[in-house]
A and B are shown apart, each in its own frame.
Chain A
Amino acid sequence: DTEVTQTPKHLVMGMTNKKSLKCEQHMGHRAMYWYKQKAKKPPELMFVYSYEKLSINESVPSRFSPECPNSSLLNLHLHALQPEDSALYLCASSPQLGGLTDTQYFGPGTRLTVL
């Protein structure tokens, strides 16, 4: 199984809502990532988890709260978002951090619209 799954595929939420994005992989990977991608732009790294511990937070606003409950699962909790947060949110995983030959495997993304 070389797949990263993400749910939901689409999400529409108001600025006062609380929602969560979910990402799952069963490849035994120990590094997991959240990216944000705006239209016609490359992905921007948000968070990195290594062995279920937060390794990198790219100065992301606190209205985005990541969580890694176990080695296969990564969540992104959303609260009080702004319309400019509308984007495609991508999850990725890799065998470990800093592996010379380790590529990142991406999920299909969650298309988020904030009204």
Chain B
Amino acid sequence: KQEVTQIPAALSVPEGENLVLNCSFTDSAIYNLQWFRQDPGKGLTSLLLIQSSQREQTSGRLNASLDKSSGRSTLYIAASQPGDSATYLCAVNFGGNEKLTFGTGTRLTIIP
């Protein structure tokens, strides 16, 4: 069964610190992997998409890496800010079709 796991479920860090969010998946034959952000009661905002042939993607203070062999992806956030507080979801496209398999998310709180 293809599954996506995110640990920890919640994380609190002081403002200004760098941090890493983790995502693991059970099948290395992925098509692509995406990181989303969700604010409470809101929709999802796409942050980064990594194709299966890529190792990392960067956007501003965000850097996402992909290691298919170990079934892992990380989202690195540099110089964290209170506005980064949200739930971060990892989603994997396993089959090259339209279905995304989501992890359960990490709820991030940045402490001012």
Contacts and interface: CB of A to CB of B under 8 A. Distances in A.
Interface of A: 4, 6, 31, 33, 41-43, 45, 48, 50, 55-56, 88, 90, 92, 94, 97-98, 100-101, 103-109, 111
Interface of B: 31-32, 34, 36, 41-46, 49, 51-52, 89, 96-100, 102-105
Given A100-B32, A103-B49, A48 B41 contact: no
A107 B49 CA distance: 18
Nearest to B104: A42
Contacts, number: 59
Given A100-B32, A101-B51, A43 B42 contact: no
A24 to B, nearest CB: 14
Contact of A108 (B34, B36, B43): B43
A18 B16 CA distance: 49
Contacts of A33: 98
A108 B42 contact: yes
Contacts of B98: 31, 33, 48, 50, 55-56, 94, 97-98
Nearest to A96: B98
Given A90-B43, A109-B43, A98 B100 contact: no
Contacts of A98: 31, 96-98
